[in-house]
A and B are shown apart, each in its own frame.
Chain A
Amino acid sequence: MRRPRLAGWIFAGPALIMLGLFFFVPVLLAFGLSLTNFDLYSLADYGNTEFVGFANYAELVRTPLFWKALGNTLYFVIVGVPLSIALSLGAAMLLNGTAGRLNGLFRTAMFAPVVTTLVAVAVIWRYLLHTRYGFINYVLDSLGVAPVDWLGDPNWSMPAIILFAVWKNFGYNMVILLAGLQTIPNDLYEAARIDGANGWQRFRHVTVPALGPMLLLVSILTMAGYFQLFAEPYVMTQGGPVESTVSVLYFMYDQGFKWWNLGFASAVAFALFLIMIVFTTLQYRFASKRGMA
């Protein structure tokens, strides 16, 4: 009995050591840092650092900009995640349904945004979203819609960021869902059709239940990713206009690297971690109640 156990440890060992050294230790250190007042004065002299307990967390709760950032992040997650998954599922079903010769081309084209550099495509999107010369406003104009100041108007900046992020990321989930769709036996659809089920009913009662575990996985991964919104506003809007695109992570970055309040910034990171755990747990509960997991 002892032998196989040892072999297991030996196999898992290198990975565990790496994980411990580069993940668990830094996380613990960051938690320790969040209990201190490490800031600019500490940078000048480490002796200026003091243990402050949970004072950073108490301060965080009293900071209006944190709540604003949390609100912006939730807006992004609540609108962005369903939109992203719906688009991925739609694209996957289109690719799955047609066995055309161009299928490979479409699949590559739709996956391409995922592997392109975010900063590079952000430049292109800034042109697309430009108020006066942008292609998006050009299309809206031809439909008779007045031009929208996408990145300058606080009401439109977050929708613009969502649009960009969804376009950038939907291909990844599409590939996972496509793999899931291909495992659904055709007999099920045929049987449903014989029973008189229409297209929507087949989708609702065959496709969705069969994809259940996949959808749960995709939604957890997407939500975890979307909670960590940072690069999109950093390169597109720098958090503006009027803080309308400051996300929790952006707030943390500002605190940590702009003002060098590393203690406080670590507290922000752990607050986000807790929020994400709560949301993922809720999601898992919801899914297991409906028998998806």
Chain B
Amino acid sequence: MIVTRRALLAGTAAMLAGCGGPGDRREILRFWAMGREGEVVARLIPEFERLHPGIRVEVQQIPWISAHEKLLTAFAGDATPDIAQVGSSWVSELVALGAVAPLDERLRGSRAIPTSDYFEGPIRANLIDGRIWALPWYADTRLLFYRSDLLREAGFPAPPADWAAWLRAMRAIKARGAPGDHAILLPLNEYEPLLALALQQDEPLLRDGGRYGNFRSAGFTRASNFYLGLFGEGLAPRVTNTQISNVYDEFARGRFAFYISGPWNIGEFKRRLPPERQGDWMTAPLPGPDGPGASIAGGASLAIFARSERKQAAWQLVEYLSRPDVQLRFFELSGDLPARRSVWRAPALARDPYAAAFRAQLERAVPPPAVPEWERIGQQLRIVGERAVAGQLSPAAFRATMDADTDRILARRRAMLDRRAAR
């Protein structure tokens, strides 16, 4: 093939124009997206750019493990993007910093995004001081993955709906299993199962506007006693996730029948369980103290940064990514569950038997307390909870220690709130 110099130059010029060379007058929107979502969203952008010829989106892909640090460092260094995907637990932190812009007025002016179409839990996670600071992009919650065959053999044709039935089912499964088998896996390196049970209670986990821990409340006492009881009775093994060589193999072998996990595991279970086991597992909403219970509202949202000079363009991108058809396409590409109810009517989701439980659970999803310190309190729940499970702390001492640690973590927040009140 002979390429003339002129053709080469013309080609290069076209390429430069294509990647936004000097001739490109379009507004550049900097968008940070994390991990897999960052890969997937890049495929939705060309359509957006076609609809908005004046905007070019630069997607910056950031690994999940360093995303949170990166956002804080970017704020400190005055280099925040225009728009970013933010984990639901980071929103309160970014609001405390003043890093993100509120979306209330834009939402009121937008006919494309009716907030009533969104699940309440994810929306509430982004609601701080009466204003909404980020719009849910996809939703996430935890519920039961279970072995339907084992449950049936133990005499339970349907998954349990409340704690009493759940306990009966677990005892029956444990009694039928081989020695060393258990009824449920609650990995000690995850605090989410205990948190989900605690969020089912009426009492909040923090009291006085997030000033103090509320772990000695009747609600947390009930939840933690139920949780610790599962270990005490031998229904759950005292192990971390990493001590189990392979969760999927063990689940396939029936070493445990229940596992509390999130939507990403639908795909993993389909891929990793052997073909002959594929008909033997299902998902179910999390049982509550009396009837179907709540679980954690998680996921990620889209936030527009306060220092952005292209907030209008950023809002257009938020509107585009929130469109039901784009949400559906995003679900198909990533497997992330849509945060809008109307998207769930699409056949791909409505007919998915594994997703149905998530649809029901998302209606009952409750966000963890929206204080910037929550992530640290959650880590403490894991560390102190592990000691309680090991028997190093009595249940009462566990609750008292949680309150003491939480109060210490929140000391600075209390001082800040008092100072603000004094002004």
Whether B68 sits at the interface, judged by CB under 8 Å, is yes
Interface residues of B in 145-178 (CB under 8 A from A): none
Whether A219 sits at the interface, judged by CB under 8 Å, is no
A41 touches B96 (CB 8 A): yes
What is the interface size of chain B, counting residues whose CB is below 8 A from a CB of the partner?
A: 26
Contacts of B413 in A (CB 8 A): 41
A39 touches B242 (CB 8 A): no
Known A258-B69, A260-B72; contact A149-B416, beta-carbon cutoff 8 A: no
Whether A44 sits at the interface, judged by CB under 8 Å, is yes
B245 touches A131 (CB 8 A): yes
Whether A286 sits at the interface, judged by CB under 8 Å, is no
Interface residues of B in 56-105 (CB under 8 A from A): 65, 68-69, 72-73, 75-76, 93, 96-98
Contact code string B366-407 (vs A, CB < 8 Å = 1, else 0) = 000000100110000001001000000000000000000000
Whether A40 sits at the interface, judged by CB under 8 Å, is yes
Contact code string A238-281 (vs B, CB < 8 Å = 1, else 0) = 10111000000000000001111000000000000000000000
Distance A74 CA – B243 CA, assembled complex (angstroms): 24
Distance A238 CA – B96 CA, assembled complex (angstroms): 27
A149 touches B245 (CB 8 A): yes
Distance A133 CA – B18 CA, assembled complex (angstroms): 43
Size category of the binding interface on chain A: 20 to 34
Query: When the two chains form the complex, which single residue of B68, B412, B416 contacts A258, counting CB atoms closer than 8 Å?
Result: B68
A240 touches B72 (CB 8 A): no
Whether B189 sits at the interface, judged by CB under 8 Å, is yes
Contacts of A48 in B (CB 8 A): 416, 419
Known A41-B412, A44-B98, A259-B376; contact A240-B189, beta-carbon cutoff 8 A: yes
Query: When the two chains form the complex, which single residue of A41, A242, A257 contacts B240, counting CB atoms closer than 8 Å?
Result: A242
B96 touches A44 (CB 8 A): yes
Contacts of A257 in B (CB 8 A): 69, 72-73
Tell me whether chain A's interface is mostly helix, strand or loop, or mixed.
Answer: loop
Distance A39 CA – B188 CA, assembled complex (angstroms): 29
Distance A75 CA – B301 CA, assembled complex (angstroms): 42
Contacts of A260 in B (CB 8 A): 72
Chain A residue nearest to B189 in the complex (CB):
A242
Interface residues of B in 86-128 (CB under 8 A from A): 93, 96-98
- Chain B nearest CB from A30 CB (Å) reads 16
Query: When the two chains form the complex, which single residue of B98, B375, B412 contacts A37, counting CB atoms closer than 8 Å?
Result: B412
Whether A65 sits at the interface, judged by CB under 8 Å, is yes
Contact code string B40-67 (vs A, CB < 8 Å = 1, else 0) = 0000000000000000000000000100
Number of A-B contacts (CB under 8 A): 53
Chain A residue nearest to B69 in the complex (CB):
A257
- Chain B nearest CB from A232 CB (Å) reads 16
- Chain B nearest CB from A38 CB (Å) reads 11
Interface residues of B in 403-423 (CB under 8 A from A): 412-413, 416, 419
Contact code string A168-206 (vs B, CB < 8 Å = 1, else 0) = 000000000000000000000000000000000000000
Distance A131 CA – B73 CA, assembled complex (angstroms): 36
Contacts of B375 in A (CB 8 A): 259
Contacts of B189 in A (CB 8 A): 240-242
A40 touches B242 (CB 8 A): no
Contacts of A131 in B (CB 8 A): 245
Contacts of B419 in A (CB 8 A): 48
Distance A257 CA – B68 CA, assembled complex (angstroms): 9
Chain A residue nearest to B386 in the complex (CB):
A242
Query: When the two chains form the complex, which single residue of A43, A64, A65, A149 contacts B242, counting CB atoms closer than 8 Å?
Result: A149
B75 touches A43 (CB 8 A): yes
Known A241-B242, A242-B189; contact A43-B72, beta-carbon cutoff 8 A: yes
Known A258-B69, A259-B376; contact A40-B96, beta-carbon cutoff 8 A: yes
Distance A64 CA – B401 CA, assembled complex (angstroms): 13
A40 touches B97 (CB 8 A): yes
Distance A40 CA – B383 CA, assembled complex (angstroms): 23
- Chain A nearest CB from B239 CB (Å) reads 10
Whether A141 sits at the interface, judged by CB under 8 Å, is no
Distance A154 CA – B242 CA, assembled complex (angstroms): 8
Chain B residue nearest to A152 in the complex (CB):
B242
Chain A residue nearest to B245 in the complex (CB):
A149
Query: When the two chains form the complex, which single residue of B69, B76, B242 contacts A240, counting CB atoms closer than 8 Å?
Result: B242
- Chain B nearest CB from A125 CB (Å) reads 18
Distance A43 CA – B97 CA, assembled complex (angstroms): 7
Contacts of A152 in B (CB 8 A): 242-243, 245
Known A65-B383, A258-B68; contact A153-B242, beta-carbon cutoff 8 A: yes
Distance A7 CA – B404 CA, assembled complex (angstroms): 62
- Chain B nearest CB from A88 CB (Å) reads 33
- Chain A nearest CB from B289 CB (Å) reads 30
B73 touches A242 (CB 8 A): no
A40 touches B93 (CB 8 A): yes
Contacts of B412 in A (CB 8 A): 37, 39, 41
Distance A240 CA – B383 CA, assembled complex (angstroms): 13
Contacts of A65 in B (CB 8 A): 383
A44, A48, A154, A258 interface centre (most CB from chain B within 10 Å): A44
- Chain B nearest CB from A213 CB (Å) reads 43
Contact code string A28-70 (vs B, CB < 8 Å = 1, else 0) = 0000000001011101100010000000000000001100000
Contacts of A153 in B (CB 8 A): 242-243
- Chain B nearest CB from A150 CB (Å) reads 11
Distance A258 CA – B379 CA, assembled complex (angstroms): 13
**B→A interface (CB under 8 Å):** 65, 68-69, 72-73, 75-76, 93, 96-98, 188-189, 240, 242-243, 245, 372, 375-376, 383, 386, 412-413, 416, 419
12 further interface pairs, Cβ-Cβ under 8 Å (given A40-B97, A238-B65): A39-B412, A41-B412, A41-B413, A43-B75, A44-B97, A153-B242, A154-B242, A241-B189, A242-B242, A257-B69, A258-B68, A259-B376
**A→B interface (CB under 8 Å):** 37, 39-41, 43-44, 48, 64-65, 131, 149, 152-154, 238, 240-242, 257-260
14 contacts between A and B (CB under 8 A): A39-B412, A40-B72, A40-B96, A41-B412, A43-B76, A149-B242, A152-B243, A152-B245, A154-B243, A240-B242, A241-B189, A257-B69, A257-B72, A260-B72
Question: Which 9 A-B residue pairs are closest in the complex by CB-CB distance?
Answer: A241-B242, A152-B242, A44-B97, A257-B69, A41-B416, A260-B72, A242-B240, A44-B98, A258-B69
